[in-house]
Amino acid sequence: MHAVTRNRRHWAIAAAAFLAAAPVLAGCGAGFDAITNTPYSPTEALTAKVKGINVAQAFFLGPDSGATLPAGGATPLYLSLVNSNQADDRLLGVGVDPAVGTAKVTEPVDLPFQKLVSIGKPTPTILIEGLQKPLAGGESIDVQLQFANAGLVPLTIPVVTRSREFTQLPQAPSAAPAPSATAEQAEGDQ
């Protein structure tokens, strides 16, 4: 009778340990790109609040992973803005260092009080054109957003590769394709 009680106790401890470890073990194979029920905000993009303007998910779209945006090319800016100041505002323009390229805003963007405004989707309206050097993703670009009321808002915005959650976005203008394994191999054979 004593051996039966000890056996049950061992089974109870083993079952409790398994049940405690099951959630941890189940998540091991999920990885970074796991689909979950909670909204996902990529950490690569910039989020900031400056002069009453909330900036969320700000990024320049770079090339596909392993490719480059060539010098002379362009990169679109994607971001969401919420004007938390008491009066409506308007994004008038974007400034960048001429050593990076030239900022182009196709039209001013109205920012009503407390309303989310997404810029870049479905069609990019802010571009950095005439890039002075190639971009591969992982770089950052210093910009100044010019608002009618909030004035100049300086930001450092990352360049992200068109991968993971960014693959649904249209390819950046003039993006060079990633080198293929056969092209690299052919160059090595010469």
Other C-beta atoms lying within 10 Å of the C-beta of residue 132: 13
How large is the greatest C-alpha to C-alpha distance in the chain, in angstroms? 86
CA atoms within 13 A on the CB side of 123: 4
Yes or no: say if 58 and 47 are a contact pair by the CB < 8 Å rule. Answer: yes
Q: What is the reported pTM?
A: 0.68
Residue 166's pLDDT is: 78
Residue 22's pLDDT is: 56
Yes or no: say if 77 and 101 are a contact pair by the CB < 8 Å rule. Answer: no
Residue 147's pLDDT is: 94
Per the listing, tokens 């996902």 go with 40
Q: What is the DSSP letter of 176?
A: B
As averages over each run of 10 residues, the pLDDT of the chain (190 residues) reads 63 66 54 47 71 91 89 92 93 93 92 93 88 92 94 93 79 61 46
Residue 38's pLDDT is: 44
